Amino acid sequence: MNVILVIALVLAMAATLFALIRGIIAFLQTTKEELNLPEGAVRPSSLKQNKMMFNRILFQAVAVIIVAILLLMKGSGN
């Protein structure tokens, strides 16, 4: 069981890193035209950034839950 949880943890951490990098790339690809849009206008790069950062938070939460499960399993094994 521990092996499966550790593999799941590594996958969750990799997904977190992937979402973080994609969010940063979306931020860097913001064009000058998008920055000059009127206030309140929906920017495609902003939507992508928000989606990637939400995914990052989701994957981080999954990783934290997996770590908590691993710690609980270790604590109850004594």
Model confidence over 8-52: pLDDT tens digits? 999 999 999 999 999 999 888 887 777 788 877 788 888 888 999
Q: What is the pLDDT of residue 37?
A: 80
Indicate the pTM of the whole model.
0.80
Task: Give 52: exposed, middle or buried? Use CB within 10 Å, 0-12, 13-18, 19+.
Answer: buried
Mean pLDDT of 52-76: 94
Q: What is the pLDDT of residue 38?
A: 82
Beta carbons within 8 Å of 66's beta carbon, 6+ residues apart: 5, 8, 9, 12
Q: What is the pLDDT of residue 78?
A: 57
